[in-house]
């Protein structure tokens, strides 16, 4: 039976119901990004750039004869940004309904406030100063610097700290489990043993490399007019060194100046960043699938007694939902990050608006990654290693010792020891396609005619003891 046609329209309820999961079910995990990548955050960033541009023009006396702003007036203007609140958001919405242009709405909003800050004492001065609001700017001068500041804040203040914490958590697990022997599986088959700590260290090392790339991101900005030529700037004030004015302003914002652009900043740095975050996501996805598999093998037990329901029908189950949730969100995040990275580097001739719509999805892309970080971290925190299960699998796969035995025989043959020929083929005949136990392996080794010292060493070897220097390799995480 279909849903009834006559039902309460959920779209009309107050407070408004979120359409997407990030603003609904998962709001708590991603809420910090709202302060950086929401529509309100974009308008606050735009206001910040407009205020700083006005202050820059006046303090540097770029326009000869123009009034300057007192220290108290500059402080009052900057307070518009720090005190940006629900009332400001509502007023901007009203202005934009008239302008049908979001950046122009910011300009008019600032002009209104400037009159209040300066005009009470000198209306004429307020009027002249208001002409320097958005002076010689195209909307993209404001937008590109605003997005750069927003993304910079979102990455450095929210995403990176969460990602670093997760990697640190993984590093701690790697050190704790460095000595715990683990039967490796290559191509899904039992393979040369390692340790659980070393395998987790590999993933931590890979993730950390990507964090270094993300940490080294250069956030670019430009302010050079409608087609990047400073045309309006030069005609308005021919005597100013506009490149220097632009450079010092962009650097004052905490960004790196891009000297050569069209109407838009080319967004190459964004594409680079999103590719790096996506690569981190993919490695984290690899971690989640590996840990999920280890759980299915019984190598990790999920901590019980946390008040969660593992399965709605099977009481014995504790499902690895944190890792599955992380996988799904990493895939959504990467779908968005990939399209951002591939689309933002293209712009028809001097400008098209595809980037404007595309950049509004940055928060969603990073939000799903942040949610995955939260789930993966909580999942890792809920694990207990089960060395007994790992040991049982090792003890059931003595055939993995065929490798060291044939390697010892090869070394002896290379030194001229008789009877050590064709070691690979001899071990293959013993082990290929079947399981062998300790007794069979010992009997085989005793019959090889090895030098006594080598024979005793191999007879004493066990799968759990055949881990090479796996434990020592974990130390690379602390070098």
Q: Which of 296, 311, 342, 407 is catalytic?
A: 311
3-state secondary structure the chain: CCCCCCCCCHHHCCCCCCCCCCCCCCHHHHHHHHHHHCHHHHHHHHHHHHHHHHHHHHHCCCCCCCCCCCHHHHHHHHHHHHCCCHHHHHHHHHHHHHHCCHHHHHHHHHHHHHHHHHCCCCHHHHHHHHCCCCCCCCHHHHHHHHHHHHHHHHHHHHHHHHHHHHHHHHHHHHHHCCCCEEEEEECCEEEEEEEHHHHHHHHHHHHHHHHHHHHCCCCEECCCCCCCCCHHHHHHCCCCCHHHHHHHHHHHCCCEECCCCCCCCCCHHHHHHHHHHHHHHHHHHHHHHHHHHHHHHCCEEECCCCCCCCCCCCCCCCCCHHHHHHHHHHHHHHHHHHHHHHHCCCCCCCCCCHHHHHHCCHHHHHHHHHHHHHHHHHHHHCEEECHHHHHHHHHCCHHHHHHHHHHHHHHHHHCCCCCCCCHHHHHHHHHCCCCCCHHHHHHHHHCCCCCHHHHHHHHHCCHHHCCCCHHHHHHHHHC
- Helix or strand (DSSP H, E) at 408: helix 402-414
Cα–Cα nearest to 178, from 478, 386, 476, 473: 473
Q: What are the structure tokens assigned to 333, written together?
A: 């995040």
Q: Which of 187, 312, 316, 357 is catalytic?
A: 187
Catalytic status, residue 275: no
DSSP 220: E
Each residue's pLDDT, cut to its tens digit, for the chain (479 residues) gives 566 667 888 888 888 888 899 999 999 999 999 999 999 999 999 999 999 999 999 999 999 999 999 999 999 999 999 999 999 999 999 999 999 999 999 999 999 999 999 876 788 898 899 999 999 999 999 999 999 999 999 999 999 999 999 999 999 999 999 999 999 999 999 999 999 999 999 999 999 999 999 999 999 999 999 999 999 999 999 999 999 999 999 999 999 999 999 999 999 999 999 999 999 999 999 999 999 999 999 999 997 545 454 544 444 557 899 999 999 999 999 999 999 999 999 999 998 888 899 999 999 999 999 999 999 999 999 999 999 999 999 999 998 998 898 899 889 888 888 877 887 788 777 777 778 789 888 888 888 888 999 999 999 999 999 999 999 999 999 97
The structural domains of the chain, ordered by start, are 32-130 (1.10.275.10), 139-391 (1.20.200.10), 397-478 (1.10.40.30)
Other Cβ atoms within 10 Å of 180 Cβ, number:
21
**pLDDT of the residue at 3:** 64
Residues paired with 385 in a beta bridge: 300
**What SS3 state is found at 175?**
helix
**pLDDT of the residue at 337:** 97
Other Cβ atoms within 10 Å of 422 Cβ, number:
12
Other Cβ atoms within 10 Å of 127 Cβ, number:
14
Residue 257 sits at φ, ψ, to 5 deg, of: -75, 130
Catalytic status, residue 128: no
DSSP 46: H
């Amino acid at each position: 039976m279909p849903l009834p046609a006559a039902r309460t329209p959920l779209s009309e309820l107050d407070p408004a119901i979120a359409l997407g999961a990030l603003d609904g079910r998962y709001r708590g995990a991603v809420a910090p990004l709202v302060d950086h990548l929401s529509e309100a955050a974009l308008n606050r960033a735009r206001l910040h750039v407009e205020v700083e541009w006005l202050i820059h023009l006046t303090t540097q006396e770029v326009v000869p004869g123009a009034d300057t702003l007192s220290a108290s007036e500059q402080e009052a203007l900057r307070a518009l940004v720090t005190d940006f609140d629900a009332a400001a958001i509502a007023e901007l919405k009203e202005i934009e309904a008239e302008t049908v242009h979001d950046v122009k709405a910011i300009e008019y909003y600032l002009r209104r406030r400037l009159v209040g800050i300066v005009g009470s004492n000198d209306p004429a001065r307020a009027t002249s100063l208001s002409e320097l609001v958005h002076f010689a700017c195209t909307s993209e001068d404001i937008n590109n610097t605003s997005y750069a500041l927003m993304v910079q804040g979102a990455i450095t203040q929210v995403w990176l700290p969460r990602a670093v914490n997760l990697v640190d958590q993984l590093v701690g697990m790697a050190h704790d489990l460095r000595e715990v022997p683990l039967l490796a599986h290559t191509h899904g088959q039992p393979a040369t043993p390692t340790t659980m700590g070393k395998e987790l260290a590999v993933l931590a090392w890979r993730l950390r490399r990507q964090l270094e790339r993300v940490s080294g991101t250069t956030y670019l900005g430009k302010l050079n007019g409608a087609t990047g030529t400073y045309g309006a700037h030069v005609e308005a004030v021919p005597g100013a060194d506009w490149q220097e004015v632009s450079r010092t302003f962009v650097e004052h914002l905490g960004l790196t100046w891009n000297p050569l652009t069209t109407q838009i900043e080319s967004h190459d740095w964004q594409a680079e960043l999103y590719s790096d975050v996506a690569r981190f996501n993919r490695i984290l996805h690899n971690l989640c699938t590996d840990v999920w598999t280890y759980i299915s093998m019984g190598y990790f037990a999920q901590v019980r007694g946390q008040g969660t329901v593992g399965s709605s029908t099977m009481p014995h189950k504790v499902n690895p939902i944190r890792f599955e949730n992380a996988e799904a969100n990493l895939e959504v995040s990467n779908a968005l990050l990939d399209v951002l990275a591939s689309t933002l580097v293209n712009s028809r001739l001097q400008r098209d608006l595809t980037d404007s719509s595309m950049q509004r999805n940055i928060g969603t892309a990073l939000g799903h990654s942040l949610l995955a970080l939260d789930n993966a971290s909580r999942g890792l925190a809920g694990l207990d290693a089960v060395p007994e299960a790992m040991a049982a699998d090792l003890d059931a796969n003595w055939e993995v010792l065929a490798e060291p035995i044939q390697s010892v025989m090869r070394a002896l043959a290379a030194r001229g020891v008789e009877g050590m020929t064709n070691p690979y083929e001899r071990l293959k005949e013993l082990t290929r396609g079947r399981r062998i136990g300790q007794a069979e392996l010992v009997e085989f080794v005793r019959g090889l005619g090895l030098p006594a010292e080598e024979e005793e060493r191999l007879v004493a070897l066990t799968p759990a003891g055949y881990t090479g220097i796996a434990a020592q390799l974990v130390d690379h995480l602390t070098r």
